[in-house]
Structure 1
Amino acid sequence: MKHAVLLGAIGMASAVMLPVTAMATQATRAPFGQTADGRKVEIVTLTNDRGVQARVMSYGASLQSLLVPDRNGKLADIVLGYDNLQGYLARRQYAGATVGRYANRIAHGKFTLDGKTYSLTGSLNGGAKGLDQQVWSVVEVKHQGSTASVTLQYVSPDGDQGYLGTLTVTATYTLGDDNQLKIVYVATTDKPTIVNLSNHTYWNLAGEGAGSVKDQVLTIPGNAITAVDAHLNPTGDIVPVAGTPYDFRSGRLIGGHGYDMNWVSSRKAVESRMVARVMDPHSGRVMSLWSTEPGLQFCSGNVLDGTPVGKDHHVYRKGDAFVLEPQLFPDTPNHPDFGSARLAPGETYRNTIVYRFATDSGRNVKS
C-alpha cells in the first residue's frame, strides 16, 4: 500500500549471543512516553525461555521490536521502527501497527452497507486517523507456563472516521517458548458495520538495519491476485499468478520489483494454514506466516524513502523491508464477489495471525 514510511540505511543490525542458561518466560510493562496531548503510552516486553523477545507498544497496538536468533544463536531485532515514541509520532507510517477499522483500501473512501452509502475520512487503512494512531488500553499482561502475553483494547466510537457503530477491538500478542508469536484480533459492534484488521510490521530477517531484503526467499502458496487499477484500487478481477512475476508458489527471491499486491489465499476465511514463508540465506532465519484470512497483502518496501532515521540511527531505504498482512481482500465492501466484511451486533470478528520462527542450517527446514 502506498504511503509515506520510515526508511533505512545499510548497516548490520546489532546482535548478541543467546544466553547459555535458560531464561524464564516473563511479561513486564513500562512507560514509553506520551503523546502531544498528554496520553501516556506503555510498552510491554514478552520474553520466552530461549531469550526471544517481543516488545508491544500501546500506541497503535504495535509490535515495536522482535529479537530472534540466527543459525548461530545470535539475536537480532528483525522489526523496523524507532527507539522512542517520538519517532512513531513524527509521521504516519504504520510501523508494526494494528491497522483498521478497515485495513488496506476502500476505493475513494466510500462504501455501501444495507442500502446506505458512507463516506470515510480516507481510503487507506481506516481513514485519516485509524487504529494505528490511537493509544490503546493495556487490559491484561500475564505469563503462564510456556507463554507470555499482553491484551490491548480500543473502543472506536460510532461515526469514527465515518464508520458506523461503536466498535470494541482487542489485540492479544502471545509469545511461546516454541518461538511462535501469535496476534489475535477480536472485534464486536453495537450497529451493523464493516471491519478488517491486520498488522503492518516491516520485517527484515537479516536484522532491521541490515539493508535490502531482495535476496530473501519468499513463498506465497496463493495462485491468484486481486487485480488493481492505476490507483491500486481493486478492479474486481481475480487473476492467476502462473507465468507472471507474482508467482511465488515455489519460492523465489523478493528482488527489486516493488510489489504491493493482494494474493488470494482462499475465497473465504478458513482454518489456519500457512500463507507465506520467508527465508534469509545469510542469517538462516526462517519465518512462516499462518492465518485464517482469505487474502495476503505483500509489500516489498518500495515506498521507503531514506528520510527518517530509525533504530540505532539506521536509515531505512527502498527495499529494506517487506510487509505481509493477512486480511480480507481490499475493497471487499464494494465487490460482493469478494465475500463480506459485514459485522452485526451479536457477532464476533476474529483474525488470528501466527508467526513461526526457525533457522535453516543450509538444508531444508520444516517450519
Structure 2
Amino acid sequence: MEVLKEKFGQFGSQPVHSFTLTNEHGMEVTAINYGCIITKINVPDRDGKFENVVLGHDTLDEYVNDPYFLGAVVGRVAGRLKGGSFELDGKHFTLVQNDNSNHLHGGLKGFDKVVWDAKIIDDGVLFSYLSKDGEEGYPGNLYIEVTYRLNNDNELSIQYRVQTDQKTLLTVTNHSYFNLSGNLKRDVLNHSLQLKSSRFLELDDEFLPTGRMLDVKDTPFDFTKGSMVKTGVDSNHPQSVLVGNGYDHPFILDESHDDEIVLKDSESGRILTVETDEPAVVVYSGNSLKEEGNFRGVPSRKHLGICLETQNYPDSIHHPHFPSMVLDKGEMYSSITKYKFGLE
C-alpha cells in the first residue's frame, strides 16, 4: 500500500494536504485533511479503464465554498435536528440553526469545515480533531478519530472512534456523492440500488422524521430486490415529491451487515457494495444539486450523484423509540463502514 502526501492548499494559517492511497491493483482514494473530504476515488470499469466515481473539486477554495458537503465527514450530528435544540438531563442546549430553524450536519462550522490533524499509517491515513465544548452549541470536549484504509480487495473502510468528557449527541457519516459511470459521464438515474431494508422513515415538510416507520412494500422505496434510482424521481409518491423528486430518506437496515447496500451501473459494469454497523442509511439522490457551478468541468445538475449516508436515525433525540444518539462521558463510540468496488 502506498500513501502519497501532497500540499493541497492553505486555510488561513493552516496548511491543507491531500493523501492518496493506492493499492496493488491501481485503485486510488484521495482525501484531504480539510473536512476529511474524499476528493477522488479512481476504480476500473469492465474494460479496465480507471475513472473517478465521486463528485469533487480540484481546489481548496471550491471546497470551502461548497454548499453540498461533498465527500466530507459531517457531524457532530449528521442530518437535521428539529428546532436546532435539545435537552439532556434537564439542561436545554441551543445549536446553530443553518437549515431554516433547524440544525443540519453539525452547523456552519461542522466537521466538514475545519482542518483536521492527519497521520499516515500502514494502510491509510488517520485524521483526528478536538471539537471543543460549546462548538456550534454542543456540550463537551469531543475527540474524534476517522481512519481511511484501503486494501487489495478494492475496499475502502472508514472507521470512526469518538470520546467526550461530557454527555453529548453524536452520529457521523461520510457525505460522498457516488456516480459509477466514471468521470460523471452520465447522471445516476439509471444506477440500480439494492438495500436490505423493509422500512423507511417518513419525513415532514422540513425533511425531519415524523417518527413513523413506513413499509417499503408496493412503494418506490422498495429496493429489496434492486430498483433504478429513477423510480423515485419519476414517482408521484408524496414522499418522493416532498424532497424534490427522488430520495432523501433514512432507510432502516436489516440486521445482517452483509451486502446491505449495493449500487450498480450496468453500462460501466461497476458495482459498489457498502456494509456498515450503523442502523440506517440516508439515501440522497442529489435532488438539490443546482444547475450552477461544476465538478471538475462537468456542469452541476440534479441527480448527478447519490449519497449513501450510513448513520443513526436522524433527529433521534426527539424520538424516544429511535436508537439513542447520546454519547456518555467516557464512553467510546466506534463505527465502521466499508465500500467495496467490483465489477459485474
Q: What is the aligned partner in structure 2 of residue 321 from structure 1? A: 305
* C-alpha distance after superposition, 1:265-302 (max 9, x if no partner): 14xxx674333101101100000100000111000111
Which of 161, 178, 196 in structure 2 is aligned with 1:186?
A: 161
**RMSD across aligned positions (CA):** 1.2
Q: What is the aligned partner in structure 2 of residue 334 from structure 1? A: 318
Structure 1 residue runs without a partner (length 5+) = 1-24, 361-367
Q: What is the aligned partner in structure 2 of residue 260 from structure 1? A: 248
Give the length in aligned residue pairs.
326
Q: What is the aligned partner in structure 1 of residue 128 from structure 2? A: 153
- Give 1:92 shift: 2.9
Aligned-residue identity in percent: 35
* C-alpha distance after superposition, 1:191-222 (max 9, x if no partner): 11110010000110012421211111100111
Which of 272, 283, 288 in structure 2 is aligned with 1:298?
A: 283
- Give 1:348 shift: 0.6
Say which SS state the counterpart of residue 214 (structure 1) adopts: coil
Matched ranges for 1:27-176 at <5 A: 27-35=3-11, 37-122=12-97, 123-138=103-118, 140-143=119-122, 148-176=123-151
Which one scores higher on RCO, CA 8 angstroms, separation ≥ 6? 1
The answer to whether 1:345 aligns with 2:329 is: yes
The separation in 1 between residues aligned to 2:282 and 2:116, in whole angstroms, is: 25
* C-alpha distance after superposition, 1:82-127 (max 9, x if no partner): 0111110123321000000000111111111112221110211011
Q: TM-score normalised to the size of structure 2?
A: 0.92
The separation in 2 between residues aligned to 1:300 and 1:73, in whole angstroms, is: 27
Q: What is the aligned partner in structure 2 of residue 309 from structure 1? A: 294
Q: TM-score normalised to the size of structure 1?
A: 0.87
The separation in 1 between residues aligned to 2:196 and 2:22, in whole angstroms, is: 31
Structure 2 residue runs without a partner (length 5+) = 98-102, 234-244
Any conservation in 2 of the 1:226–1:236 contact (CA below 8 Å)?
Answer: yes
Q: What is the aligned partner in structure 2 of residue 9 from structure 1? A: none
Structure 2 letter corresponding to 1:354: K
Any conservation in 2 of the 1:34–1:41 contact (CA below 8 Å)?
Answer: yes
Runs of 4 or more, structure 1, over 6 Å off, are: none
Any conservation in 2 of the 1:87–1:310 contact (CA below 8 Å)?
Answer: no
Q: What is the aligned partner in structure 1 of residue 201 from structure 2? A: 226
Q: What is the aligned partner in structure 2 of residue 19 from structure 1? A: none
Any conservation in 2 of the 1:209–1:315 contact (CA below 8 Å)?
Answer: no
Any conservation in 2 of the 1:211–1:316 contact (CA below 8 Å)?
Answer: no
The separation in 2 between residues aligned to 1:301 and 1:137, in whole angstroms, is: 30
Say which SS state the counterpart of residue 337 (structure 1) adopts: coil
Which of 177, 184, 197 in structure 2 is aligned with 1:202?
A: 177
Structure 2 letter corresponding to 1:33: G
